[in-house]
Amino acid sequence: MTHAEFEGHIRGLRPRIVAIGRRIAGTGLDVDDFWQDVCILAWVARDRFSENKGPFVAWLQVIARHRAIDIVRRTHRRPAPVPLESLSEMADTSSPCAGALARDRKRCLMARLNEKQRILLEGRLAGHTFVEIGAAIGHGKGHAVKILYQVQAIWEQMEQEDWAESKR
């Protein structure tokens, strides 16, 4: 299937495909990302499409259904992220050294992060969306969210190290 044939088949199907995604994944679905994912998956698998097996619309709907199910499974599998706003409140505020301790912990966290992780953390603390941060690091929203989970894991590791050290 050529690019022109593919475009001809896919033209006008977006509302129907997005409706499948919303029905399965809910109204919180990022419609543009979902449509793009389905188009990419269909383009990559275009050699497996055969009009002898059924119409293009049905084939594309199956791809959309599977992609929506993957999105639902992925979101239910992930733990809820720790709000990054809590990073600004890392120490007990009743302590006179609370501000200095919080700054040291932030410095320690930032030293453990790579450049993209630092950009994400600083962007989230500044109130930017994942879409904006993804664009800043040259990737999409999904990649920015993935980096957030990496930052969260590093933070949790620091918490465990601090807890283990306090028990000594």
3-class secondary structure per residue, the chain: CCHHHHHHHHCCCHHHHHHHHHHHHCCCCCHHHHHHHHHHHHHHCHHHCCCCCCCHHHHHHHHHHHHHHHHHHHHHHCCCCCCHHHHHHCCCCCCCCHHHHHHHHHHHHHHHCCHHHHHHHHHHHCCCCHHHHHHHCCCCHHHHHHHHHHHHHHHHHHHHHHHHHHCC
pLDDT at 164: 73
Model confidence band, residue 107 (pLDDT cutoffs 50, 70, 90) = confident
Q: Which CATH architecture has domain 84-166?
A: Orthogonal Bundle (1.10)
The model's pTM is 0.46
- The domain ranges of the chain are 3-77, 84-166
pLDDT at 141: 82
Q: Is the pLDDT of residue 63 over 90?
A: yes
Q: Is the pLDDT of residue 97 over 60?
A: no
Across residues 88-101, what is the average pLDDT? 45
In whole angstroms, give the CA distance from residue 9 to residue 56: 7
Are 19 and 61 contacting, i.e. CB atoms less than 8 angstroms apart? no
Are 100 and 83 contacting, i.e. CB atoms less than 8 angstroms apart? no
In whole angstroms, give the CA distance from residue 104 to residue 83: 19
What CATH number was assigned to the domain covering residues 3-77?
Answer: 1.10.1740.10
Least confident of 4-8, 11-15, 161-165: 161-165
**pLDDT over 90 percentage in the chain:** 9
Asked if the domains at 3-77 and 84-166 fall in one CATH topology, the answer is no
* Residue 86: both structure tokens together: 């809590």
How many other CB atoms sit within 10 Å of the CB of residue 46? 16
Instruction: Find where tokens 């050294």 sit.
Output: 97
- Identify the sign of the CA torsion 45, 50, 53, 57: positive
For residue 162, how far is the Cα from the chain centroid? 29
